[in-house]
Amino acid sequence: MTRLTPDAGEASQLLGRIVYFHALLIEGAIAVLEPASPGPACCAHASARSAGHRVRGTWPAPPWTVLGEVAATMPDWYRPCPSAGPGCCACCAIAAAAAAVGAGWADAECRAYYRDPDLFLASACGTAAAARISAAAAAILQIGGCQALAAQAAEAFRPVPVTTGELPLTGELLALWDPQASAGPAPVVSWLNHCASLADARKVLLARRNGR
């Protein structure tokens, strides 16, 4: 059986990395105008209404709750369960928050480097982030009974829509949560650690593209 990476300790570090880079590079680049609109019900709330089906592993489950906090700052992309709270399926809640992180980061990076939004690409990055992060969470937290899990787990192995050469922050996010990463997570874009804004990252990208 393929080992799903990361493990619990690595996931904790990667979640910290999301919070760090979000606060440092992304949050100042986005304008928060209104709260997120609710999305579809998570599978716990959807099935509670229909069949009395119970889901194991409910939200919130630290350290994964930080994803929801980061996602809430990107209401254009966050579509939480309408009954968002402790009764939610953790896998669905993590997927919804991770989708906002992937899409919101890609959108902010596109606007910062290329000036033009690419909503299709941002949405594809959100789908990939949701699949990879929720599949890792499901394995680590041993979440069972989530009706969306099988689809998410299969999606996690598909190729991702961006490289670190195009959108370094988003590309790194998707690479770090790759379930097939052989040597476990490691920072793959170390120069990001020296950037204080997306404008800095843009300068580095331009310089690298011009061979300087």
CB of 147 to Zn ion, least distance (A): 6
Nearer to Zn ion, 126 or 171 (CB): 126
CB of 206 to Zn ion, least distance (A): 42
CB of 130 to Zn ion, least distance (A): 12
CB of 47 to Zn ion, least distance (A): 9
Nearer to Zn ion, 122 or 149 (CB): 149
Nearer to Zn ion, 27 or 39 (CB): 39
Q: Cα 190 to chain center, whole Å?
A: 19
Q: Is 129 left (phi over 0), alpha (psi -120 to 50) or beta?
A: alpha
Return residues touching Zn ion (CB under 5 A): 42-43, 45, 81, 83, 88-89, 91-92, 146, 148
Q: What secondary structure does DSSP assign to 159-187, as a single string?
A: PPS--TTTSHHHHHHHHHT-TT-SS----
Helices (DSSP H) in the chain: which residue ranges? 8-21, 43-50, 65-72, 90-114, 119-141, 149-155, 168-176, 198-209
Q: Is 97 left (phi over 0), alpha (psi -120 to 50) or beta?
A: alpha
Whether omega before 86 lies within 30 degrees of 0, making that bond cis, reads no
CB of 85 to Zn ion, least distance (A): 7
Q: Is 94 left (phi over 0), alpha (psi -120 to 50) or beta?
A: alpha
Nearer to Zn ion, 11 or 42 (CB): 42
Nearer to Zn ion, 29 or 61 (CB): 61
